[in-house]
A and B are shown apart, each in its own frame.
Chain A
Amino acid sequence: MAKHKKIREGRAIWVAFLALIGLGLLVAVLLRGNDVILFNPKGLVATQQRRLMVTSTLIMLGFAVPVLITLYFFAWKFRETNPKATHNPSASRGKLLMLAFWAMPTAIMLILASLMIPATFKLEPQDTIKAEKDLLTIQVVALRWKWLFIYPGQDIATVNYVQIPVDTPVQFQLTADETPMSSFWIPHLGGQLYAMTEHNNRLNLLADTPGDYEGSAAEINGAGFAGMRFTTRVSAQDDFDTWVAKTKQSPAELSTPEYKKLLGPSENHPATFYKDPDPSLYSTILSKYAGSHGGSHDHQTQGAGEH
């Protein structure tokens, strides 16, 4: 009977191992030809975030894998049916070992923290990115359930479509109007930030490869949430200028009644282009909710103030 058991335990290990390989193969096949966005960054921020993610994962795996192997090896080695294993109920009582138990994970976490803290400051999304080209500011308003983009410097506005020139630092100023918290996320270019009424969050990104990248609302904000997506077109500066000139010729104008229409709920809103948005529209939206806390919350100057 003991022999029978031993075979069964050995088999379990092999089955588990083969199953893992099978799972890996299946995933590899399913992934073929698909874009694993976070490993395929198209912008400065996303690239650095990926690097940080990969480095930290490797450090943790370097620690966790040996620990796991030890655990499963001990489980196998000290099985009751193994006549060769020694049994000692009072084993492992050393003070030094206990110290090591606490010291090892502490060391790993110190290493990770020493990576994390500088990276957090460096990749703080509210800080502008320094580059050769001038900063392009785009004001973003989360509406139910679409994204409104206002280009204050270019005098145009768009819905569910945003175009930016390559290698140019872009600042997305984020707020919302009559819409629950929404998260603004273009995974190809970098991490997300919340768009909230009364608040002016700033997400700074820099795209380094031309192409079309999808952006989304990452946080649930109502029935039309899944369709609250937009295209981000990264193009050469010339193409961008041409596009701006063309958009300025749009028949539609982002007037107050037009904005009122946008304010109502709508799902899967198509990309729309406007000329001449009201230059004070964004600040009007912000101040609409202000007054209760003494003005709008400007995250760049107030920092963490009250969070």
Chain B
Amino acid sequence: MKEFWLGKLGWHALPHEWFTILGSISFVMLGLTVIAGLTYTKRWKWLWNEWLTSVDPKRIGIMYFIVGGFMLLRGGLDAIMIWLQQSLSSGASHGYLTAEHFQQVFTAHGNIMVFFVAMGLIFGLINYIVPLQIGARDLASPFMNTLGFWLYVAGVVMVNMFFLFGGEYAATGWLAVAPLSGKAFSPGVGVDYWIWSLQISGVGTTLGAINFIMTILKMRAKGMTLLKMPLFTWGSLCSMIMAVSVFPLLTMTLFLVFFDRYFGTHFFTTDAGGNAMMYTNLIWMWGHPEVYILMLPSFGVFSEIVSTFSRKPIAYYKSNVLAMIGVSSIALLVWLHHFFTMGASAEVNSAFGVATMIIAIPTTVLVFSWIATMYKGRIRFTTPMLWFLGFIAIFALGGISGVLLAIPPVDFQLHNSLFLVAHFHSTVIGGVLFGIFAGLNYWFPKIAGFRLNERIGRYAVWAWIVGFFVAFTPLYILGLMGATRRLDHYDSSKGWQPFYIMALVGGLIIAAGVALQIVQIIASIIQRKRLRDPTGDPWDGRTLEWATASPPPSYNFAVIPEVKTRDAYFEMKHLHAPKHAFEDIHMPKNTASGIYISIFAFLAGFGFVWEINWLAVVSIIGIIVCLIARTFNEDSEYTIPAEVVRKMEKARTDKADTHRKDSRDDEDDMGLIEFAKTVITWALGIALGIVRGKK
């Protein structure tokens, strides 16, 4: 009976390692603080109505940033844990983690960073910026978007369940290589958590991608032909098309692994005709494009930034677009380079090696396009531009090591070594994370209405760049010294330890960079009045998102602009556009269906992880019922009357005119010392207030 109701669940599942207990405690404390804060300020209803059930892509984008940023801290902590273990665990010392736990930590690190940090933040940017850039008021399917977001959140919770609730995480590497991930070699619930966190968030990604393809293709402002689209939108379109092409493959592969583990089928097992090599193929057919799904929007961000801060239109726009399309299509055809060492023939290996090299061509063209844009520009070294300059150095390193790994005979020596690890961190940190940070700095004034602190922002960039090289140069060298990845212990005779320690130091410098980014945001909030941008266009921007207020009203544009050229807004600024009459605006209503479906999806996954069959079945029925109920909801829109729009717009323009001043000068931005002073004074003030209040 107990087995029917609880499956494999029992007291033994609860957290019992010091770090999982610490993790649970800190999460519970954080949760309690948030709950207390919301109750104290009576914000529950506001949170539910204004945010959680919102279908506004801008709000959903911000929620992606918050969850993704939080996961960045979580994944970063894993990174420090990994390096700490490897710095300690040499010779007689075995570090502070067992092999099993160490393997769980790096698996979680990889999954969290790729799925819940990079994917989350990229989706956040796309959500916020793409509709603004194409002059749309909402998305093709606002409901699908909120559903996609909440499925992502369900995945986030699932990946953290092993220490929030209990059990263990997969100890298989981030892609759960078969047959290691089979029941025979990984009998615990770790791989099941892995399957369901990826499965649920992966479905969310597919839905989001379909939605954005439809939005970009069907909802552009009048006159914006495909070849007048801003490059970030182009990058996002390429990325989303790739996501739609490969995420169903991930979904299917995960189902097959699930069947193997749950129903005892033999798709990827060693026995009874299972073929583990097929798993390797399938997972990489998705896994390689996945990296480019993250990279392409980031390329778009850099194109926007280089163009804006060079005060020039992007050079060779068509070439740039072609390069992005090239990257995204060839990226679908290179997956085999992840396992040259599995024993395919020289013919197959060299074919995939050539395909991989071909990707380097459009990527280089993008770099040339940025160089040509800077040529005879007037370059402002704002924080986004500094992120770009850092990206180039790191990404070049990643690109060269990547082409090196595409040469099969060289790959035989470097595969599975720390050289490989250093390579993909160069591309993902340099290419994806730096792109996201650049984008967040660039669009922050649009999102918040005030720009970020430039001075502390610069410190953060430098900490990240220096930290990156201190952390990953030793990994390249360790790879050349024959160090394989994922080692929880090694011989002291090899001379690896100093390099691992150096990497740890680099990791701590990066952590300082992250701390500086947090300080940057807090300092900017403190100084928000001084940094306020009433114009909606703080950088002398070129694309449509700068044409509306900061932050934009829920309907984005009171009058949808008509696009005549590329860099539409830049041209508009120099022409006095005729006044349009305001019209009624139809906007989608908020809905909680996405939340309900995601809760059911989470519960279904949870049921499958612990083999609580009734829960899984009930939850799946719940999902279906919610979906059907949603289709009967025809009252999904509301109207903002033209008169209201006119009033809102008038209030905004009046305000903008009275405040118009150049706030671009960064001499006023507070530095770290002033920040420390402000925070201490503030804390002292509160403390004194409490003391006085008691008297």
Q: Which residues of A contact B (CB under 8 A)?
A: 1, 9, 19-20, 23, 26-27, 30-31, 33-39, 46, 48-50, 52-53, 56-57, 60-61, 64, 67-68, 70-72, 74-75, 78-80, 85-89, 91-93, 97-98, 101-102, 104-106, 109, 112-113, 115-117, 119-126, 178, 180-181, 183, 185, 187-188, 190-194, 196-199, 201, 214, 216-227, 289, 291-293, 299, 303-304, 307
Contact = CB atoms under 8 A, between A and B. Distances in A.
7 contacts: A34-B481, A67-B367, A68-B396, A78-B377, A89-B311, A93-B315, A117-B354
Interface stretch (B52-60, B217-225, B487-495, B652-660): B487-495
A49 B408 CA distance: 10
A74 B474 contact: no
B389 interface: yes
A60 B171 contact: no
A36 B408 contact: no
A19 B466 contact: yes
In the A-B complex, the 9 residue pairs with the closest CB atoms: A191-B412, A292-B273, A34-B495, A180-B180, A218-B416, A105-B364, A91-B376, A37-B482, A187-B482
B480 A38 contact: yes
Contact of B502 (A9, A30, A123): A30
B628 interface: no
B381 A9 contact: yes
Give the most central of A27, A104, A116: most B CB within 10 Å: A116
B176 to A, nearest CB: 10
B358 interface: yes
A291 B484 CA distance: 34
A192 B345 CA distance: 14
Contacts of B312: 89, 91
A120 B349 contact: yes
Nearest to B306: A75
A192 B341 CA distance: 6
A187 B360 CA distance: 28
Contact of A105 (B360, B392, B417, B477): B360
B372 interface: yes
B179 A181 contact: yes
B99 A193 contact: no
Contact of A223 (B103, B274, B341, B416): B103
Nearest to B336: A307
Given A191-B412, A192-B341, A226-B488, A71 B310 contact: no
Given A34-B494, A52-B409, A221 B373 contact: no
A80 B665 CA distance: 13
Nearest to B182: A180
A149 to B, nearest CB: 19
Contacts of A26: 502
A24 B372 CA distance: 31
A49 B470 contact: no
A48 B369 CA distance: 37
Contacts of A78: 310, 374-379
Interface residues of B, number: 108
A97 B477 contact: no
A80 B103 contact: no
Given A180-B177, A192-B412, A307 B364 contact: no
Given A23-B469, A87-B376, A101-B365, A223 B99 contact: yes
Contact of B319 (A91, A101, A125): A101
Contact of A124 (B345, B377, B477): B345
B173 interface: yes
Interface of B: 99-100, 103, 171-173, 177-180, 184-185, 270-277, 280-281, 310-313, 315-316, 319, 336, 339, 341-350, 353-354, 357-358, 360-361, 364-365, 367-381, 389, 392-393, 396, 399-400, 403-404, 406-417, 466, 469-470, 473-474, 477, 479-482, 484-491, 494-495, 498-499, 502, 667
Contacts of A193: 341, 343, 412
Give the most central of B177, B185, B339, B393: most A CB within 10 Å: B185
Nearest to B173: A220
Given A119-B407, A126-B345, A201-B343, A39 B179 contact: no
Given A35-B495, A183-B341, 7 more contacts: A38-B481, A56-B410, A102-B361, A121-B346, A180-B177, A185-B484, A190-B412
A75 B667 contact: no
B416 A185 contact: yes
Given A53-B410, A67-B371, A109 B358 contact: yes
Contact of B408 (A1, A120, A303, A304): A120
A33 to B, nearest CB: 7
A220 B487 CA distance: 9
Contact of B415 (A120, A199, A218, A299): A218
Contacts of A48: 409
A247 B215 CA distance: 72
A46 B413 contact: yes
A293 B274 CA distance: 10
Q: Is the interface of B mostly helix, strand, loop or mixed?
A: helix
Contacts of B178: 180-181
B487 A226 contact: yes
A192 B416 contact: yes
Given A75-B379, A117-B350, A193-B343, A39 B407 contact: no
B350 A116 contact: yes
Nearest to A202: B343
Contacts of A23: 469-470, 473
Contact of A74 (B275, B357, B375, B480): B375
A71 B487 CA distance: 38
A215 to B, nearest CB: 10
Nearest to B478: A36
Nearest to B489: A226
A293 B278 CA distance: 13
A16 B403 CA distance: 26
A198 B488 contact: no
Contacts of A93: 315-316
Contact of A60 (B371, B400, B482, B499): B400
A92 B376 contact: yes
B479 to A, nearest CB: 8
Contact of B381 (A79, A227, A291): A79
A196 B477 CA distance: 29
Given A30-B502, A194-B343, A219-B177, A289 B271 contact: yes
B354 to A, nearest CB: 5
A117 B345 CA distance: 12
Contact of B343 (A126, A178, A218): A126
Contacts of A34: 481, 494-495
Given A68-B392, A191-B411, A198-B270, A183 B374 contact: no
Given A35-B481, A220-B172, A120 B367 contact: no
B82 to A, nearest CB: 13
Nearest to B415: A192
A49 B419 CA distance: 15
A32 B313 CA distance: 50
B407 A31 contact: no
A114 to B, nearest CB: 10
Contacts of A67: 364, 367-368, 371, 396
B404 A53 contact: yes
A65 to B, nearest CB: 9
Nearest to B403: A60
B412 A121 contact: no
Give the most central of B270, B413, B495: most A CB within 10 Å: B413
A74 B336 CA distance: 38
B315 A125 contact: no
A39 B184 CA distance: 39
B166 to A, nearest CB: 20
Nearest to A307: B344
B350 A120 contact: yes
Nearest to A201: B343
Give the most central of A78, A193, A199: most B CB within 10 Å: A78
Given A116-B350, A292-B273, A191 B409 contact: yes
B85 to A, nearest CB: 11
